[in-house]
Amino acid sequence: MQFNLDEDRALLKQSTRELLESESPLTDARAIMEDSSEGYDKALYANLAELGYMGLAVPEEEGGSGVGAIGLVAVLEELGRAAFPGPFLDMAMAAEVLRGVKEPEGAEWLRRLVAGEALVLIANSESLSGDEPIEPNTHFEDGRVTGSKHFVPFGAQADAMLVSTDAGLVVVPKPDAGWNADLLEALDHAQRLASIDFDASCTQLTDSGTAATLLESAHQLGALGAAALMLGLMERTLEMTLSYTMERQAFGAPIATFQVLQHRQADMFIHTESTRAAVYRAAWAADHDPDSASRLIAVAKAAAGDAGRWVAGQSIQLHGGVGYTWEYDPHIYLKRIKTLEQFYGTTRSQLEKVLQAARI
């Protein structure tokens, strides 16, 4: 299997890294994570929309960039490296749902999302105990939606939500009075999670059967995207750790010269590169082999969760005492990885999916 990117996607990946180094260095990202109520830079997201990033996986004939799953993964890997805050992946998932909607209302919200005119997100979870899918209790009747959704990423900031109900998928524009949202605490201080209580006018987009199909496709994209983000987080974590061990001295020599620490960093490298192979193999399948894509994406997400947690934990250890402090950066990457591991399909649920596919 050839994992090298073609010329166009390699250029996209490199230009994304340069853009993030210029416009979203970690010092700026930390300020947004720690001090901004919004949790992301709206001006930068508008700039990304102008450059076509909000429609990366959307075909060109539907107003997107059409770079496919491989191109999206390449970009998300760079976003992970930069610990880029905000709902980028969640917007890509919403776009995946809207692509499958036949109603004109869906096409208009897709256009606005891709153009950066609206933040459109999915509100699907009704469980506070895990990510296992359950039948929606949120109710739709006579053009109105009632009920509650939990763990909605950046829910309080959204301009519209795609809400799963007992009758199918509906789109709910933000009411004039704003959402009835309760903010939830998260380990990752870059995340903005909310529980939303709905009692608002809405438009039905699909029936329940179509909604289930579209949401499954979006969740699959989310799992692949989360794995790519964790790959980027691992890659940068390893780089930070190598740099620190080269600078930190003990007994008159850099601690990077100590063989036991070299072995640990070599293991960090192996975990990272193994994850890279799984993620890009899954992305290739998403573009070229849909029959095996679901299984391979589950493999990639589960592998990235386990490997990412281990690599980030080793980084904390190899930084020594300062690895636990707020001023140093390893904790940002550890928290992001642990959050991504629990969302978009937990490591356990993805492993179960793999085993079911293998009929074990």
Average pLDDT, the chain: 94
Shared domain for 243 and 310, answered yes or no, is yes
Per-residue pLDDT reduced to its tens digit, 225-262: 999 999 999 999 999 999 999 999 999 999 999 999 99
Alpha-carbon distance of 21 to 95, in angstroms, equals: 26
Choosing from 163, 186, 208, the residue where a domain stops is 208
Q: 151 lies in a domain?
A: yes
Shared domain for 247 and 353, answered yes or no, is yes
If one counts the domains in the chain, the total is 3
Report residue 164 as tokens.
Answer: 């799963």
Q: 110 lies in a domain?
A: yes
Per-residue pLDDT reduced to its tens digit, 31-66: 999 999 899 999 999 999 999 999 998 999 888 999
Q: Considering the chain, what percentage of its residues have pLDDT values greater than 90?
A: 89
Q: 2 lies in a domain?
A: no
pTM of the entire structure? 0.96
- Cβ neighbour number for residue 313 with a 10 Å cutoff: 17
pLDDT number for residue 306? 97
Q: 1 lies in a domain?
A: no
Shared domain for 38 and 74, answered yes or no, is yes
Shared domain for 249 and 331, answered yes or no, is yes
47 by Cβ neighbours in 10 Å (0-12 / 13-18 / 19+) ranks as: middle
Find the domain containing 90 and state its range: 7-114
Are the C-beta atoms of residues 119 and 91 closer than 8 Å to each other? yes
Shared domain for 107 and 153, answered yes or no, is no
Shared domain for 98 and 139, answered yes or no, is no
Shared domain for 11 and 103, answered yes or no, is yes
Per-residue pLDDT reduced to its tens digit, 265-314: 999 999 999 999 999 999 999 999 999 999 999 999 999 999 999 999 99
Shared domain for 239 and 204, answered yes or no, is no
Q: What is the average pLDDT across 133-149?
A: 89
Alpha-carbon distance of 355 to 349, in angstroms, equals: 10
Q: 58 lies in a domain?
A: yes
Choosing from 86, 114, 142, the residue where a domain stops is 114
Shared domain for 260 and 293, answered yes or no, is yes
Q: 303 lies in a domain?
A: yes
CATH number of the domain that residue 251 is part of:
1.20.140.10
Shared domain for 91 and 137, answered yes or no, is no
Backbone angles phi, psi at 349, to 5 degrees: -65, -35
Shared domain for 255 and 336, answered yes or no, is yes
Sheet of 168-173: strand order equals 120-123, 160-165, 168-173, 203-204
Mean pLDDT is lowest, of 2-16, 82-96, 152-166, 258-272, for 2-16
Statement: residue 357 has pLDDT above 90: no
Per-residue pLDDT reduced to its tens digit, 172-231: 999 988 999 999 999 998 999 999 999 999 999 999 999 999 999 999 999 999 999 999
Statement: residue 133 has pLDDT above 60: no
Mean pLDDT is lowest, of 100-114, 123-137, 172-186, 327-341, for 123-137
Statement: residue 131 has pLDDT above 60: no
CATH number of the domain that residue 156 is part of:
2.40.110.10
Q: 255 lies in a domain?
A: yes
Q: 285 lies in a domain?
A: yes
Can you give the chain as a three-state secondary structure string? CCCCCCHHHHHHHHHHHHHHHHHCCHHHHHHHHHHCCCCCCHHHHHHHHHCCHHHCCCCHHHCCCCCHHHHHHHHHHHHHHCCCCCCHHHHHHHHHHHHCCCCHHHHHHHHHHHCCCCCEEEECCCCCCCCCCCCCCCEEECCEEEEEEEEEECHHHCCEEEEEECCEEEEEECCCCCCEEEEECCCCCCCCEEEEEEEEECEECCCHHHHHHHHHHHHHHHHHHHHHHHHHHHHHHHHHHHHHHHHCEECCEEHHHCHHHHHHHHHHHHHHHHHHHHHHHHHHHHHHCHHHHHHHHHHHHHHHHHHHHHHHHHHHHHCHHHHHCCCCCHHHHHHHHHHHHHCCCCHHHHHHHHHHHHCC
Alpha-carbon distance of 37 to 78, in angstroms, equals: 24
Statement: residue 130 has pLDDT above 70: no
pLDDT number for residue 135? 75
**pLDDT band for position 14 (cuts 50, 70, 90):** very high
Report residue 206 as tokens.
Answer: 């699909």
pLDDT number for residue 132? 53
CATH number of the domain that residue 105 is part of:
1.10.540.10
pLDDT number for residue 360? 59
Choosing from 156, 180, 208, the residue where a domain stops is 208
351: left (phi over 0), alpha (psi -120 to 50) or beta: alpha
Please enumerate in sequence order all residues whose Cβ is within 8 A of that of 352, keeping only pairs 6 or more positions apart, or say none: none
Shared domain for 225 and 270, answered yes or no, is yes
